[in-house]
C-alpha cells in the first residue's frame, strides 16, 4: 500500500508541476504598480480550469504526503 501511495504522489507531483508550468505567464505580480481601487480580475475559461486544477492537485498531494507520514 505504501508503495502505491509513493507512486501516486510522484504522479501527482509531476501533474502539479505540469499544470503550474502551462499557466499564463503574461500576468505578473507587481505590487508597486497596483492601485487599491483597481477592480479584481476574474479568471475565465481555461485559466480558471488550470487554477482550480492546481488547487485540487495541491490538496491531493498534501493529503497523500500526510498519509505517507502517518504510515
Every domain of the chain and the residues it spans: 1-20+45-71
pLDDT of residue 44: 77
pLDDT of residue 18: 93
pLDDT means over runs of 10, the chain (71 residues) = 92 95 69 57 79 94 94 86
For 53, residues 6+ apart whose C-beta sits below 8 A from its C-beta are 19
Closest Cα partner for 51 from 9, 19, 18, 11? 19
Amino acid at each position: 500500500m505504501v508503495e502505491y501511495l509513493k507512486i501516486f504522489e510522484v504522479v501527482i507531483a509531476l501533474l502539479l508541476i505540469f499544470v503550474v508550468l502551462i499557466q499564463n505567464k503574461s500576468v505578473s505580480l507587481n505590487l508597486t504598480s497596483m492601485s487599491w481601487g483597481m477592480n479584481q480580475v476574474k479568471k475565465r475559461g481555461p485559466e480558471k480550469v488550470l487554477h482550480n486544477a492546481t488547487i485540487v492537485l495541491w490538496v491531493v498531494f498534501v493529503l497523500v504526503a500526510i498519509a505517507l507520514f502517518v504510515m
